[in-house]
Amino acid sequence: MPDALMNWNFRVLRSLARLTFAQQLILLALVPATLATLAAIAVLTRQHLGNLTELMRANAQTVALQVATVAQAPLARMDRRALQRTAQSGSYQPNVQQVQIWTEDGEIVANSETMDRARDEGLQVVVPIVSDDGRHNGKVMVEMSLAAVQNARRSVWLNVGLVLAISMFGVGLAGWWAARRISEPIRALGKAVDRLGAGEDASVAIEGTSEVRHLQHGFNQAARALAESHRLLQSRINEATAELARKNAQLEVASQAKTRLLAAASHDLRQPLHALTLFSDGLANGETDPVKLQRIGHIRECVDSLDRLFSELLNLSQLDAGVLQPQWIDFPLDRLFDEISRNFRPVAEQQGLRLVVRKTDVWVRCDYVMLSRILNNLVSNSLRHTIEGGVLIGARRRGKGVRIDVVDTGVGIARQHQERVFEEFYQVEPTGRQAARGTRGMGLGLATVQRLAELLNTRVELSSRVNKGTCVRVLVRSAPAALPAPSASHAVAAMEEEESLAGVRIMVIDDERTILEGLTVVLANWGAEVMPAQTRAEALALADGWQQPPDVVISDLLLQGGDNGLDVIGALERHPRGIGAGTARLLVTGETKPDRLREVASAGITVLYKPVSPRVLRQAIQAQRVAAALAVGA
């Protein structure tokens, strides 16, 4: 009960707070006046009705005495007829409803009731009948009607309502006048404050009582001072805005120059690096000399390191270009975990570390490629900064989602760096054995993870302790388990089990002779029949002479003379003896400019970005052959 009362009081106070100042003043005048009027009227009404009731009681007493005096002799003789006439004479008195005459032992010897009007609530008075010798011979009961009292009460309440209404109207009118006189200057000040906030002239006329005039005078002075300060501040803001716009323009020019420089440098460096990748694989093919194999292994390590750095730049360029859009599919998370285990287990073992990937039966709804990039970057980053121990990858359900954890026993990240490690090019200086290993990236791995997570509408959480390790958590949506489609999976598995590409006809188009020779060597080692071409003309000339189109076409994006690999593939498709749906198509490029990336993304052809390792190239060729075979079968 106390809580309910407090809640009611709180609601009343909150409702009063919504009233205007004038309304509150009027209410302040009405409430006390209403309460005082009601209290006075209640007291007077109660007194008036009490007096009226006592008057009716006195009248009843008088009638009863008169009847008792007349009934004394008949009662002594027990003359019932005379007693009845006496009782009837008493009932004829105004407001008398009933008269009874009782003997001393309580017997009713006469009773007279009014028959000409309805009975109302009554007031009864009993008077004894006293004989001449002072003995009580009986009693007389007279019941008086209180209808007059009820009528008086109704009349009083009608008058009370009328008086109260007139009083409240008068008090309300006076309160409204006083409230208006007090609140009008305050309302004018409020409007002036609004104008002051809008930067307009906010002076007010000085009028009213002395206190209000003093307030208005002070407000005008403050308004003038604020207007002057506003003009000065606006001038400074305009100057600062102009300076900021100029610096932003400079930063934009510098950013565009940086993007062009990175794209040009990336493209020019990817070309020889791609050739170096192909030739190193060609050197290793059939080589048995341990010393040479060791040197070739060193070359491959350098190529892999450069490939990792260029991949980080490519991921950033793709994000800047906006060509990455999530392709939502449902897939078992264990499939991605198996891929990560295959890719990074040799790297971990080479560093003397353990890579533990826990099996899981959960399914997720996500973009497979983007989630793969996120986890690959996290695992690669963990291995790079772990000296001893290892890396653990696991997943667990959390509500309607799945949380993927990548935990390492690495050097950890200090608290002051944990927020900034997701910024582009931000790096924590390595120390101790980590610095001795020279495992330093470009500071783009976690930045790419953060931006990919934003595209997936999820978040990445990081917790770390120095010299204890780091845990990165990725939250994704869960999906119901489903059975994989058997036909495509069996076709891919069968293609991946092939030992060589013997008899496969592959056309290679690239304007760089070294890359063309490297691809020719690698593909020939796999048993493929290679048709190299440097230009569109050479490719169309080959098309004029072949008996059947190639099984695969691999083309660079940018060719000599401003030609384009997409246009060359289109020309081969339009050639009378050209390629059709049964020919797999691959684009290979080192381009990272945003406009080029958007052009490639809209082409609908699978793209590999230089440098391309032979293993990735072979997997891509096999996958595209499967896709082409399925398209022809459909």
CATH number at residue 533: 3.40.50.2300
Beta bridge partners of 406: 393, 472
Question: How far apart, in whole angstroms, are the C-alpha atoms of residue 556 and residue 516?
Answer: 10
SS (H, E, C) 124-163: EEEEEEECCCCCEEEEEEEEEECHHHHHHHHHHHHHHHHH
Burial of residue 365, with CB atoms counted within 10 A of its CB: 0-12 exposed, 13-18 middle, 19 or more buried? middle
Task: State both tokens at 283.
Answer: 């050197």
Question: How far apart, in whole angstroms, are the C-alpha atoms of residue 543 and residue 581?
Answer: 16
CA dihedral sign, ordered 308, 309, 311, 316: positive
Which residues, in sequence order, are CB contacts of 619 under 8 Å at separation 6+? 496
Q: Domain range holding 558?
A: 504-633
Q: State whether 535 and 387 are in the same domain.
A: no
Residue 349 covered by a domain: yes
Q: State whether 339 and 420 are in the same domain.
A: yes
Angle at 548 between CA 545 and CA 528, to 5 degrees: 100
Q: State whether 386 and 423 are in the same domain.
A: yes
Residue 28 covered by a domain: yes
Q: 187, 214, 240: which is the final residue of a domain?
A: 187
Residue 26 covered by a domain: yes
SS3 242: helix
Q: State whether 48 and 134 are in the same domain.
A: no
Residue 391 covered by a domain: yes
Q: State whether 449 and 513 are in the same domain.
A: no
Are the C-beta atoms of residues 106 and 98 closer than 8 Å to each other?
A: no
Q: State whether 376 and 441 are in the same domain.
A: yes
Domain count, the chain: 4
Q: State whether 450 and 422 are in the same domain.
A: yes
pLDDT of res. 532: 92
Exposure on the CB side of residue 69, measured as CA atoms within 13 A: 6
Q: State whether 537 and 609 are in the same domain.
A: yes
Q: Tell me the DSSP string of 67-89.
A: HHHHHHHHHHHT-HHHHHHHHHH
Residue 134 covered by a domain: yes
Are the C-beta atoms of residues 501 and 584 closer than 8 Å to each other?
A: no
pLDDT of res. 363: 92
Q: State whether 520 and 611 are in the same domain.
A: yes
Beta bridge partners of 98: 113, 143
Question: How far apart, in whole angstroms, are the C-alpha atoms of residue 500 and residue 492?
Answer: 15
pLDDT of res. 488: 40
E strand map for 131-267: 136-145
pLDDT of res. 306: 59
Chunked into runs of 10 residues, the chain (634 residues) has average pLDDT values of 57 58 64 73 74 80 82 82 83 81 84 70 81 79 77 74 75 69 69 70 70 73 76 84 84 66 56 61 65 66 58 54 68 89 85 90 86 86 86 89 91 72 56 48 62 81 85 88 52 45 89 84 87 90 89 87 86 88 84 68 76 79 83 66
Q: State whether 440 and 585 are in the same domain.
A: no
Q: State whether 344 and 444 are in the same domain.
A: yes
* CA-based nearest residue to 474, from 319, 337, 299: 337
Residue 98 covered by a domain: yes
How large is the C-alpha radius of gyration of the chain? 52
Residue 93 covered by a domain: yes
pLDDT of res. 187: 72
Amino acid at 106: G
Residue 206 covered by a domain: no
Residue 402 belongs to domain with CATH number: 3.30.565.10
Q: State whether 447 and 590 are in the same domain.
A: no
* CA-based nearest residue to 140, from 101, 108, 112: 101
Question: How far apart, in whole angstroms, are the C-alpha atoms of residue 448 and residue 119?
Answer: 99
CB neighbours of residue 543 within 10 Å: 20
Beta bridge partners of 407: 392, 471
pTM of the predicted protein model: 0.41
